[in-house]
């Protein structure tokens, strides 16, 4: 009799693990990938695409690949080759949101200011403003403090930022060379000091090096910043 019950328990456990794996590895990634464009269009009023989503339900890691957000003219606004993160679910039991890491590879963003003094992402801001206006505040709702949020390691790698101004008589353009940015020990908890390091070179403009400490609660920054390779005519 005991062996029969053991076999039943094992079968039930196998069924649960199989269903959990199916939902985590297949169903959730499919739903996220297939609904991404529709959700972004609804919430931000812009076109967006996501090529692939990977989720490991056992290690709680998530990967997004080839994410593209377009501007009002359907040109590139933001592109990311991959975003990888790892959630620590046990921290939720203590009322905290903690990510082991966020790695963003090959972020490429292009900001434009048109002749009408309108940015290429103004339609997104207008959509967010409208959503906020349409949201009726609940006066009797008890305001809750947001959960503490922490990231052990945040990395931007091979990042390129570009800005173009079409309001000038001659088009003005600045663009960075690919650069990395790293933040260690970021947290919204009180008096937690994050380390921020980056080395950015804007083509034909200047080179910026940052080595600083950042406290989010209360907001405080300190550290060193240096500028070299100035091109005064471009600035």
Q: How far apart are CA 208 and CA 228, in angstroms?
A: 7
Produce one character per residue of 11-28: b if its CB has 16 or more CB atoms within 10 Å, e if not. Answer: eeeeeeeeeeeeeeeeee
Look up the pTM and report it: 0.87
- What are the residue ranges spanned by the domains of the chain? 2-175
Q: Six-digit token pair at 107? A: 């972020």
Nearest residue to 155 (alpha-carbon basis) of 58, 86, 57: 86
Largest Cα span, the chain:
88
* Cβ 213 vs Cβ 196: under 8 Å: yes
Mean pLDDT of the 112-130 span: 92
pLDDT tens-digit profile of 142-176? 567 788 999 999 999 999 999 999 998 888 999 99
State the average pLDDT over residues 86-99.
88
Asked whether the beta carbons of 113 and 69 are under 8 A apart, the reply is no
- In three-state form (DSSP H/G/I as H, E/B as E, the rest C), the secondary structure along 47-70 is CEEEEEEEEECCCCEEEEEEEEEE
**pLDDT category of residue 229 using cuts at 50, 70 and 90:** confident
Q: Closest by alpha carbon to 50, among 75, 81, 22?
A: 81
Mean pLDDT in residue range 178-185: 96
Q: What is the mean pLDDT of residues 201-226?
A: 91
What confidence tens digit (pLDDT) does each residue in 14-57 have? 999 999 999 999 999 999 999 999 999 999 999 999 999 999 99
pLDDT tens, position by position, 53-64: 999 999 999 999
| Tokens read off for 93 | 């039991």
């Amino acid at each position: 009799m005991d062996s029969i019950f053991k076999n039943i328990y094992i079968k039930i456990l196998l069924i649960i693990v199989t269903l959990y794996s199916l939902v985590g590895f297949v169903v959730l990634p499919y739903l996220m990938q297939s609904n991404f464009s529709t959700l972004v269009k609804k919430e931000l009023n812009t076109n967006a695409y996501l090529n692939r989503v990977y989720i490991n339900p056992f290690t709680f890691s998530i990967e997004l690949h080839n994410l593209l957000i377009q501007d009002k003219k359907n040109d590139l606004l933001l592109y990311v080759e991959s975003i990888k993160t790892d959630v620590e679910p046990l921290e939720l039991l203590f009322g905290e949101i903690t990510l082991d890491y966020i790695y963003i590879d090959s972020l490429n963003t292009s900001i434009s200011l048109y002749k009408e003094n309108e940015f290429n992402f103004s339609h997104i801001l207008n959509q967010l403003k409208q959503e906020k206006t349409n949201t009726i505040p609940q006066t009797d709702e008890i305001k809750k403090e947001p959960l503490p949020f922490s990231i052990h390691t945040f990395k931007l790698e091979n990042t390129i930022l570009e800005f173009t101004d079409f309001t000038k008589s001659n088009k003005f353009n600045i663009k960075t060379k690919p650069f990395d940015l790293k933040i260690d020990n970021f947290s919204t908890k009180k008096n937690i000091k994050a380390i921020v390091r980056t080395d950015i070179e804007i083509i034909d403009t200047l080179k910026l090096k940052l080595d600083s400490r950042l406290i989010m609660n209360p907001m405080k920054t300190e550290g060193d910043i240096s500028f070299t390779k100035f091109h005064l005519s471009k600035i």
